[in-house]
Structure 1
Amino acid sequence: MNDTTRGEDTLSDDQRRAVFREELGLTSETGAGRIIGRIPKKFTRGIVAAMLVLGIGGELVDHYFGNVGLPSTSASTTFTTPTTFPQLGTTTVPNVVTASQAFIGLKFIGTAHVPRFTLTDQHGTKVSSDTRGEVTLIAFFNKNCNDICPVLGAEIRGALADLGPKASRVRVDVVNTDPFSYGVSTNPLALVSTGLSHDANVHFLNGPLADLNNVWKAFGIQVNVGATANQVSHNSTLYFVSPTGQLSALASPFAHESKAGVFSLGSTEIHKFAQGVELEAISLIQ
């Protein structure tokens, strides 16, 4: 199957960077737009600290931040680090933690309403977060599946398979985290390579870069870019939304990252994480 794209994906890397700077008004300390370089260790430590404050850490902190193959030149970040979650409220650990909840790093959010957004899925259909009547999983990974996508995609696929007939009552919204490749694709690699492309309830969401950035910020997703289109890194969180539109809980996906920036996880761990996602989804199905 061919991957057909529209819009920004026809641009060169230089053109994408120019659009990126123009759309978001990114500036360095001197006022010049800049999207280059390695994420500095000082900044990485700051992201980890922020994640711990927000309660998103766990095994993700241990596994996610490493050498993602970016050049060793000086760096700036493209998005400010969220320091609070006013939309989400305070996360709490379950009073009685099951083994599956502990494994996926489950934290309850409370009764906050899911942040509202409307993006476009792989079929060109507008998809809104403001829905009712089904459980929704909201995940974040790159369109070209060059981040935690192979692992988290396999875990989502496993959870849907384990749900059996109940899977028809669960929707999966995957928000693209690649600011260099955000045109709508009928067959994004993120779905094709993970076996999720044939599931009608799975939506890979794209939109104008400013809209994507608003969604990333609303959900505490920190996106950083390097000098070329394959130099993108971000933290990873999986959200559970109840049938009444309430943000119920979040999980912390994790994986091993090689020096080449390839993410992987053993089949046993993938299965255990999928089971944890399945059980939490079942608890929300009405």
Structure 2
Amino acid sequence: MTSIRMSWRLASRLSVITFAVLVIIIVALVQATNGSKTQNGDTTNNTTTSVTSDGLQGVDLGGKVAPTFQLTDQYGKSVSLADMKGKPVILTFLYTNCPDICPLTAEHLHSTLQALGSDASNVNILAVSTDPKRDTTEAALNFSRQHNMQDSWHYLVGTQEQLSPIWSSYSVYAQTQQQIVNHTSALYLIDKQGHERVFMNGDTFTPSQLAANIKILLKE
């Protein structure tokens, strides 16, 4: 009887150990699969981008006329999108107190201009503020200097009443929450004739992708 009890206890313990080992193996396999999916997903996002019939990388905007606007840049100069015709335009939306994405976007734009070389002078970059309360001309100039863009773009500021219609025209969400402004990370490419060509995600675009797009637009 004692022998039978010991055998039962041994079998019970072995089954518990076996079950635990199986659970560990299953968890490890699931983690490995998820890790693989994440890595593959990142790779796919970096290497497979939508391409238009013109060879532009990004979401095709159909070539509709870009809504025009007029604001003040970091030097206090009045700037209108309508005056930009004749050169491709990179249009984005930022705010100077942004802790992460906006500085990265600015750095990527700077790298794009470096990649373009002599063609950089044939491109206009407009950065429209999403923070009318804090983005003054002084703040815009300081931010531009921090990212070596002071003479390479127009960082445009304005009042809530001036900026809101522009955000709406370009489907940009901008909402202040304490010190952070939640806003759409957007990059619009507008051709020499003032037509919207492609939308690029401000979080994920690379300087090489943007430079390649600009070169296509410059040849048109």
After TM superposition, the score normalised by the length of structure 2 is 0.71
Q: Which residue of the partner structure matches residue 129 of structure 1?
A: 81
Question: Residues of 1 paired with 2:102 and 2:94: CA distance?
Answer: 6
Deviation (angstroms), 1:190: 2.9
Is the contact between residue 224 and residue 233 of structure 1 (CA under 8 Å) also seen in structure 2? yes
Deviation (angstroms), 1:143: 2.2
Is the contact between residue 96 and residue 140 of structure 2 (CA under 8 Å) also seen in structure 1? no
Per-residue CA deviations over 1:182-224 (Å, capped at 9, x if unaligned) read 3322753431222212x3x410001121111111111111011
Q: Which residue of the partner structure matches residue 240 of structure 1?
A: 189
Residues 96, 187 of structure 1: alpha-carbon distance in 2 compared, 3 angstrom cutoff: closer
Do structure 1's residue 94 and structure 2's residue 51 form an aligned pair? yes
Partner letter of residue 61 of structure 2? I
Is the contact between residue 182 and residue 209 of structure 1 (CA under 8 Å) also seen in structure 2? no
What secondary structure does 1:249 align onto? strand
Q: Which residue of the partner structure matches residue 202 of structure 1?
A: 153
Residues 94, 146 of structure 1: alpha-carbon distance in 2 compared, 3 angstrom cutoff: same
| CA radius of gyration, larger in | 2
What secondary structure does 1:285 align onto? helix
Which runs of 5 or more residues in structure 2 are unaligned? Answer: 1-40
Do structure 1's residue 284 and structure 2's residue 217 form an aligned pair? yes
Is the contact between residue 144 and residue 188 of structure 1 (CA under 8 Å) also seen in structure 2? no
Question: Residues of 2 paired with 1:182 and 1:138: CA distance?
Answer: 17
Partner letter of residue 217 of structure 1? S
Question: Residues of 2 paired with 1:129 and 1:144: CA distance?
Answer: 24
What secondary structure does 1:188 align onto? helix
Question: Residues of 1 paired with 2:61 and 2:193: CA distance?
Answer: 14
Is the contact between residue 72 and residue 156 of structure 2 (CA under 8 Å) also seen in structure 1? yes
Is the contact between residue 114 and residue 241 of structure 1 (CA under 8 Å) also seen in structure 2? yes
Do structure 1's residue 214 and structure 2's residue 165 form an aligned pair? yes
State which of 122, 128, 131 in structure 2 corresponds to 1:178: 131
Is the contact between residue 110 and residue 149 of structure 2 (CA under 8 Å) also seen in structure 1? yes
Percent of aligned positions that are identical: 25
Per-residue CA deviations over 1:52-79 (Å, capped at 9, x if unaligned) read xxxxxx98xx9xxxxxxxxxxxxxxxxx
Higher helix proportion: 2
Residues 162, 152 of structure 1: alpha-carbon distance in 2 compared, 3 angstrom cutoff: same
Residues 186, 125 of structure 1: alpha-carbon distance in 2 compared, 3 angstrom cutoff: farther
Which runs of 5 or more residues in structure 1 are unaligned? Answer: 1-57, 63-92, 256-271
**How many residue pairs end up in the alignment?**
172
Q: Which residue of the partner structure matches residue 161 of structure 1?
A: 114
Deviation (angstroms), 1:107: 0.9
Deviation (angstroms), 1:96: 6.8
Name segments (4+ residues, structure 1) moved above 4 Å.
95-98
State which of 60, 63, 72 in structure 2 corresponds to 1:108: 60
After TM superposition, the score normalised by the length of structure 1 is 0.55
Question: Residues of 2 paired with 1:253 and 1:184: CA distance?
Answer: 23
What secondary structure does 2:137 align onto? coil
Question: Residues of 1 paired with 2:184 and 2:140: CA distance?
Answer: 24
Q: Which residue of the partner structure matches residue 49 of structure 1?
A: none
Is the contact between residue 182 and residue 208 of structure 1 (CA under 8 Å) also seen in structure 2? no
Question: Residues of 2 paired with 1:187 and 1:212: CA distance?
Answer: 15
- 1:65-76 correspondence runs (5 A): none
Deviation (angstroms), 1:147: 4.3
Deviation (angstroms), 1:95: 5.2
